[in-house]
Amino acid sequence: MAFFSSRTSLPRSNTPPQTSSAADNDCPGPSRPSGFQPPRYSMDGVSLVDPNEDLPPAPPRYSMIVQHRRSSNDTQTRRNPTPSPSETKHEYHISHKNKVWAILTVFSRPSILTHAFPRFYGNDPVSGTVDLNLDSPQTINSITISLRGRVKTGSSREGSYTFLDQSILIWSRHSGDIRHSSAASGQKFDGKSSGTYSWPFTVPFPKEVAIAGHDEVFPIPQTFLERGVDASVQYELILRVAHGVLRRDSKCVLILFSVTATEMHRLQAGIVYIPDITAEPASSLRQRAYLEGYLVPSPADDPLGWVAKPQVLITGSLNCNFVGLECTLFIANPQCFARGTVIPCYIRIYTENSVALELLATSDSINVKLVRRVKYYQDPEQAASHYRARAASKQLKESGVFEVVQETARAVWWSPPRLVAEQGCTREMAGEIHLAEDLQPSCSFFPFNVLYAVELHPFDLSTFRVNSKQGASVSHSVGIATLHSEGPVPVSFTHPRRVL
């Protein structure tokens, strides 16, 4: 029976503006005076962030990430490596008859939280030590460490695709005497080993891989395992100890799933990979607003800082009366945002029905959301082999493709300060979509994709009946990053809206 244990040893915003009431509804407002500074504001029906409230920590800036890079050649540079104060140490044991005889130690970055599994970022190398404690003479042919990545879409063999598999040799019989240099001099090595041994190792963690038989290179996907999605991405760190002919080899496997002991000298734990994806910097005017604590400038004031989607018409009945509303959605530009921050939004709504404008152009009724799509293949191995053929001929259709669609966040809206006079029955609203700190980043790996889009849906009001079963009226792809760009950290002015 195999047993194991795991130990971890650890070393561990922004203030929103004050508020004041703003002008209401669709009455014309004053023109902007010379030297005008954006006023502080309040929002009807939306709770503001308390200036004295502790905000959750934002994702790290790219420049603040610990530089934990090692050369791929540096595979065995330290004889007795020990974790620095800034590293986390995980230990995994292989036991026989309640006696620990092999220890795999893995070093990873520090964390303010205690994680059960080692976590690696970007192209962090996987480093650690292998230690043996052999009470009796044993024949050992080789010791290897392997790093393997797989996409799994089921329990069958056809539902698994290995996209990463690289190994380093720790020791083999061809390397000579396994014993330490401190072993008794003159003692002849007879192929059997006993005593205590230790080897350092470093396995490089690549950021990109090429699919076999294809010219394209893809960023490797993040570790992924969620309820409701019958697909996962898992990484394995495998220690193999090859014994003599008459003895079963020993294998120590670190994978994504929960810990189990399935056979002699085999244990399973988790290894988590998080890619380094850097958000794109905000426009210069928006960065200035973040630094000075003001609202982000509107599309009229910062045209380069926004992307305007084509105007759409949403029609329906309100209290048995037909209404039509012309909507233009604006999304902050550039289009890649760090998780733990927000996606600024802006919407312009026009209708000649003043009652509809009052009821629908509100923070509770405007329905803009962030939607995630996880796309994967039932047989990823076959999908990979057919990828080039489909790319060469667009007439070939994809088969066995699954897509899981989920709403991840909804925008929070408020009436912006009146800087210019509104004309007729037009209402403008500013908003932001809060991104959870643990939100899965975007992933464009084949055959597993995590895609995000900001979508405008029909108004959410019980008395408003859409004429037909409309889906998203507007959909715009955005990227979710794990790191901030250089520059000020984006400021959030509201609390996130709960997704039911």
SS3 per residue for 303-344:
HHHEEECCCEEEEEEECCEEEEEEEEEEEECCCEEECCCEEE
Assigned fold of 64-274: Immunoglobulin-like (2.60.40)
What pairing do the DSSP bridges indicate for beta strands 312-318 and 464-466?
Answer: antiparallel
**Is residue 303 pLDDT above 70, yes or no?**
yes
Q: Which residue in this structure is represented by tokens 């030297």?
A: 35
Question: 277-481: which CATH architecture?
Answer: Sandwich (2.60)
Cα separation of 129 and 80, whole Å? 8
Counting residues of the chain whose pLDDT is more than 90, the rounded percentage is 40
**Is residue 452 pLDDT above 80, yes or no?**
yes
According to the model, what pLDDT value does residue 399 have? 61
Mean pLDDT of the chain: 76
According to the model, what pLDDT value does residue 76 have? 33
Question: What percentage of the chain's residues is helix, strand, coil (to nearest 5)?
Answer: 10, 40, 50
Largest CA distance in the chain: 101
Q: From the centroid of its chain, how far is CA 424?
A: 44
List the single range of 135-144, 418-427, 458-467 with lowest mean pLDDT. Answer: 418-427
Measured from the Cβ of residue 340, the count of other Cβ atoms closer than 10 Å reads 24
> How do the domains of the chain map onto residue ranges?
64-274, 277-481
Cα separation of 440 and 435, whole Å? 10
**Is residue 11 pLDDT above 90, yes or no?**
no
How does residue 29 score in pLDDT terms, banded at 50, 70 and 90?
Answer: very low
Cα separation of 240 and 229, whole Å? 32
Span 225-249, mean pLDDT? Answer: 80
According to the model, what pLDDT value does residue 457 have? 94
Bigger pLDDT: 363 vs 383 = 363
Domain 64-274 identical in fold to domain 277-481:
yes
HEC readout, 395-407: CCCCCCEEEEEEE
According to the model, what pLDDT value does residue 110 have? 80
What pairing do the DSSP bridges indicate for beta strands 342-350 and 321-332?
Answer: antiparallel
Bigger pLDDT: 459 vs 32 = 459
Exposed e or buried b per residue across 312-332, where buried means at least 16 C-beta atoms within 10 angstroms of its C-beta: eebebebeeeebebebbbbbb
According to the model, what pLDDT value does residue 249 have? 58
Phi–psi pair at 208, nearest 5 degrees:
-135, 155
Sequence-ordered list of residues with C-beta below 8 angstroms from that of 352, at least 6 positions apart, any chain: 424, 425
What is the token pair recorded at 405? 């669609």
How does residue 455 score in pLDDT terms, banded at 50, 70 and 90?
Answer: very high
Q: From the centroid of its chain, how far is CA 362?
A: 32
Cα separation of 431 and 44, whole Å? 13
- Element at 344 (helix H, strand E): strand 342-350
Alpha helices in 210-249 (DSSP H): none
**Bridge partner residues of 444 (DSSP):** 449
In the chain, the amino acid numbered 108 is S
Cα separation of 15 and 53, whole Å? 9
Q: Which residue in this structure is represented by tokens 């309040």?
A: 42
Cα separation of 124 and 112, whole Å? 18
Cα separation of 147 and 106, whole Å? 13
Give residue 487's region: left, alpha or beta (phi > 0; psi -120 to 50).
left
Q: Is the dihedral of CA 57, 59, 61, 67 positive or negative?
A: positive
Q: From the centroid of its chain, how far is CA 27?
A: 44
According to the model, what pLDDT value does residue 79 have? 35
According to the model, what pLDDT value does residue 493 have? 87
**Is residue 372 pLDDT above 60, yes or no?**
yes
- The string of pLDDT tens digits covering residues 100-120 is 888 999 999 887 777 778 999
Cα separation of 2 and 96, whole Å? 6
Cis before residue 334, ω within 30 degrees of 0? Answer: yes
According to the model, what pLDDT value does residue 250 have? 62
Cα separation of 377 and 447, whole Å? 6
Contact predicate 10/110, CB 8 Å: yes
According to the model, what pLDDT value does residue 327 have? 97
List the single range of 80-84, 142-146, 275-279, 430-434 with lowest mean pLDDT. Answer: 80-84
Span 287-308, mean pLDDT? Answer: 94
**Bridge partner residues of 273 (DSSP):** 120
How does residue 224 score in pLDDT terms, banded at 50, 70 and 90?
Answer: very high
